[in-house]
Structure 1
Amino acid sequence: MNGKHFAFAAISLLSTTMIKAQAKPEDTEVWKPVPKVVTPAKTIGEAPSDAIILFNGKNLDEWVDVKDTTTAAKWLVKHDELTVNKSSGNIQTKRRFTDYQLHIEWRVPKNITGKGQARGNSGVFLASTGAGDDGYEMQVLDSYENETYVNGQAASIYKQHPPLVNASRKPGEWQVYDVIWTAPRFNEDGSLKSPARVTAFHNGVLVQNNYELQGATRYIGKAEYKQHGPSPIKLQAHGDKSEPLSFRNIWVREL
């Protein structure tokens, strides 16, 4: 190394040393904005302080009939549980949501009969885009030792994406879904700007990891997107002949 190169290297090293010497821990500390305070629940699964309670075990004040949204939901409320009324059809929230965190618990009867898709079938539509079964469905089903197509078992994004694992408990035991929903965005012309995404835990086990949805649920044919805005959450009264299942402890946090 000649004298000029040595001098340049020495100056560079000295400059770097001086910069490091002048740096302070406070340089990388961020103080604003301060996150708001949310009081967590005293027990796991209960609602935190900023949650919207969608079912408190007492009434269906937050729900309406899907066929006629001016009519109150007609499912059965008893013993702090909400039981599907198949004759009255699907129900959905009065409120509409975009992005959110959802907690919902469900249970198929201990004496459940049937097999495959005819075994405690229901669904949580993370965004309902119309009457009937339109929207983005996370499947509810007894998948404990019950064989069916994998993108139709419990915790699947129905007819799109199987769960990463089968974390189902036995019939008669309460199951838990914790879901992070990011709604799709659309351009002014109705074209898709960004797809919907979902992260979900089934009984505390990761089953959907930031999955990018292909569109709204379709029973026949491929999923597709159609422009929509904030949407209600919907619960399905499936037409199978197995015993109806129940829900409890439903709450949501808007993100």
Structure 2
Amino acid sequence: MFPLERQKKIMDLLTIKKVLKITELTKELEVSVDTLRRDINQLTKEGKIKKIYGGIKLIESQFGESTIDERMISHLEEKNSIAQKCSEYINDGDCIYLDSGSTTFQIAKYIKNKKNLTVITNSIPIILELMNSDVELIIIGGKIRKNEQSVVTYEYLFNFNQLNIQKAFICASGITIEKGISDYNIEEAITRKKMIELSNEIYVASDSSKFGKNVTIGIAPLEKIDYIITDQNINQVLINQFKKSPTNLIISE
């Protein structure tokens, strides 16, 4: 295993367990203590981990958005169930938009066998996931957000008005009854607003941990969202509140 592969494995393990002992890591990675210390020193230098007595711990963000790598493995069971439910609303011949995000990435895994499907996306991981399938792919033009592995759009690089999107699957970092859906990054928010404007039906794919949060940038009120698909861990009080809202709440199995 190369150093970068080992370091990614260490970060993956820390995202789940937060704290790891040196003895655990040497056994898990099947490397010597000296080799492991070189990886630890590199990750410490990058500010990703902190050394503690006998082990290491993850340095977590105190505020703001977690990285796409962290989100790819957090709430994974819930995101898989949401993605599977979303795929039931995607039909052969559809033209859909898949937003950048860890939940929409999971959707890509369930739609590879759809016939005559066109997927428009700004997500590099989704492009890579669908690259060898029969799905027709369109990636929007713009600037690369490296930490999010996404493309944020600019009008002069992409003619949005030519798109005929039947269904858009959008991610959100916050969802409230009062304020609708929100996100941390202004450029991602602009892209999502544009896609909501252009699409016939709007689906928000979001795990239950996002409910009750209203984060930095407002994207859209609930009146503009047709469906929110989430997991079974959502609070019953919220379920009752959504019965009175204009948005249909769908709970995955």
- TM-score, normalising length: structure 1: 0.25
Q: Which has the higher contact order (CA 8 A, sep 6+)?
A: 1
Compare the two structures and name the one with the higher helix fraction: 2
- TM-score, normalising length: structure 2: 0.25
Larger radius of gyration: 1
